[in-house]
Each structure stands twice: as C-alpha cells, then as structure tokens.
Amino acid sequence: MSALLEVEGLTAGYGAAPVLHDVSLTVQPGEIVAVLGANGAGKSTLLRTLSGLLPASSGRITFDGQDLRGIRVERMVHHGLAHVPEGRGVVTELTVDENLRLGGLWRKPQPSLEPIYELFPRLAERRSHLGHQLSGGERQMLAIGRALAAQPRLLLLDEPSLGLAPKITAQIMALLRDLRDRTGLAVLLVEQNVRSALSIADQGVVLSLGRIVTRHDAATLVDDADLRHAYLGF
C-alpha cells in the first residue's frame, strides 16, 4: 500500500530562520499519526507548511502521489487535505450553520450537512448560534465538523485538546478513532496532550527543536518506560 502522505527532508520556517529541519514522515490511508513534542518544537509549523500556509524552503511533500509544494492553500481541500488550525479557526461572526456550509462550499453539488449534525447533535441544537456564543468544546466540534464537510482523506488537526476539559477531549479522541474506523480517514494529530493523543494513534512521532527525534508505534511509546522518560517526560 502506498503512503497517503509522504514528507521527505522538509525544512521550513518563518523568514530566514528555519523552524523545521529535515523532517520526514509518512501517513498511510486510515492511519492516525500523532506528532508530539514540547511547546515550540515546530508541530504547528509542520502542519502550516503541509497545508501551504508557510512555504517550505526544501524537501518534498507528496500527497496521494502528487507533489503538494507550490499548490495554493485554497486548493488543498480539492486534493483531500483538510487543516483544522490551532485555536480552531471558527469564524466567530458566522453562525454554526454558515461555518459548516463553508467547509463544503467548494464541492459541486454542495454536500448535505445532516451527516455532520448527526455526528455532533450538540451543533444541530445550536445551528443558528454565532461562533462566539459557543463553548470551547463546541467550537472544536464545529471546526472538526467543518473540516469533515469537505470529505477529506487526510485531516491535519492542531491541538484539538487545547483548553478543553478532559471529558470533552476524550469524546473528541473517541470520535476521531470512530471516524477513522468507519470512513478510513487518516489523521495527522498534533498534540501536547501526549496520553490522549497516543490513546488513539497508530504511530507517534516526537519533534524536538524542529527535528524528529524518535518515531514508534504508539503502543511501543506508551509501554516502553525508557522511551517515555527520554522523549515524553512521563
């Protein structure tokens, strides 16, 4: 089986100073890969480079056999790549329904939002509420639901647990795993919350100061005390 996403020797950053150095990783179809690491390790920079918000200075990004570098950000969803940015990116001035519609707007014909509302009954109750009226958990659900409205093959998810109660985080993680199992959605999951990320991930990749320092099966990372101490700090 060929990889869905293949990143090779990626170097990128803001201005002249690179944040990411020679990063390589792969995501298989239907696989959940957790990108772990401390604040400032370059996790968000990695996602922003993959979706084209930041230019890569060198390296290759191949998605489903196609070179993604040089493709404009607004075309990425057309290729099957959806990026939920850190802080969730709910458009707070628009309603829940408008936010969700926005996610599938580029598709012809526009997809029905009912499957998304079935997935997130809470959002269905708050259809006509404005984004800024939602709680943190609801915003995260909205951001994920909106990304799913594009029917992507790979979801880039940046810190979904940020600012959420553990119970809500667990719900969202369970939902991601369920989606993967049912639809074959692949997820590249950036998290500081190592335990909850590894609870659903197949692979774990640890970034430190912009370099990949280790990469293992999620189960191995959790079970091996030495690895945990060395790279994850617990």
Q: What are the DSSP calls for 45-86, one per residue?
A: HHHHHHTTSS-EEEEEEEETTEE-TT--GGGHHHHTEEEE-T
To other proteins, the closest distance from the beta carbon of 105 in angstroms equals 5
Binding other proteins by CB under 8 A: which of 92, 112, 128, 183? 92
Residue with tokens 């070179």: 67
Binding other proteins by CB under 8 A: which of 51, 169, 193, 203? 51
- Cα–Cα distance for residue pair 133/198, rounded to 1 Å: 31
Binding other proteins by CB under 8 A: which of 13, 37, 103, 160? 103
102 touching other proteins, by CB under 8 A: yes
Of residues 70 and 233, the one with the C-beta less far from other proteins: 70
To other proteins, the closest distance from the beta carbon of 162 in angstroms equals 16
Q: Are strands 66-67 and 56-63 parallel, antiparallel or unpaired?
A: antiparallel
How many CA atoms lie within 13 Å of 150's alpha carbon, on the beta-carbon side? Answer: 25
Binding-site ranges for other proteins (CB under 8 A): 51, 53, 72-78, 82-83, 85, 89, 91-94, 98, 101-103, 105-106, 110, 130, 132, 146, 150
